[in-house]
Structure 1
Amino acid sequence: MGSRLQIQGDESVLLRVTHSNLKSFCADVHFSLQMTIEAVKEKLWKKCGTSVDSMCLELYDDMGAKISGLSDNLRPLGFYSPQDGFRLHVIDLDPSSVTSGGWLEDTSLVEKYNISEEAYDKRDGKSQ
């Protein structure tokens, strides 16, 4: 008996998803083999923030060898014969994407608020 999240008879695969701009992003995601590549991109957009139109997908086997680029949005994922443990790599083609430049991961790029010691000592409600 299948889980409530899986349609009976619907085969799925567990893929490790990585992202070109998000070095610390790595997620294990279940995909139906019947999903079109466009539907896979829609699902990934919700997880990593890269828009469907700016997304290029590559499939790698469990040894790290590239199997294929997943360029035909109308083909089902199963056409590319992915297996559990394979890696699906998202390449963000948008140079102005929110994921580019490390802004989502590197906190050193965020301007910090600084306060002088004098201003800190003068603030109201400070604990002694």
Structure 2
Amino acid sequence: MTSTRATVDHYERLAASHDHNWTHSGVFLDWMTSQIVSAASIGATDRVADVGSGTGLFARHIADQVHPAQPILCVDTSRPMLTQIPTSPEPQPVVAPAEEMAEWVTAGGGAGTAGELDVILLKESVHTR
């Protein structure tokens, strides 16, 4: 899956204001996050990757609800989107397309990271070729 230049440019322009563009209320975000956590049975000990995470909007809400023992991996091809994630112990930004993440997980992960994932979330992901 390769991003086109137009798609890359679009998300570079959108990154700084992405979370402000959401028309969803905090109540909706909390509700949707609860639905995700429940449907995926996400617990504090689960290793989670949010593929196509953008700014990590839902990963941050999941972390607030679940209090994971390990950072949620926010995987996205857009570095500008990932740089909008607040610096904290979590989530952990990873700049990579989904295929590279799959290869990384299959190979056992990188240095300093767990190679196994319990939950892979693809929420609001954009697929380009």
**Where is the helix percentage greater, Structure 1 or Structure 2?**
2
Higher relative contact order (CA 8 A, sep 6+): 2
**Where is the strand percentage greater, Structure 1 or Structure 2?**
1
Say yes or no: TM over 0.5: no
The structure with more radius of gyration: 1
The two structures have a TM-score, normalised by structure 2, of 0.21
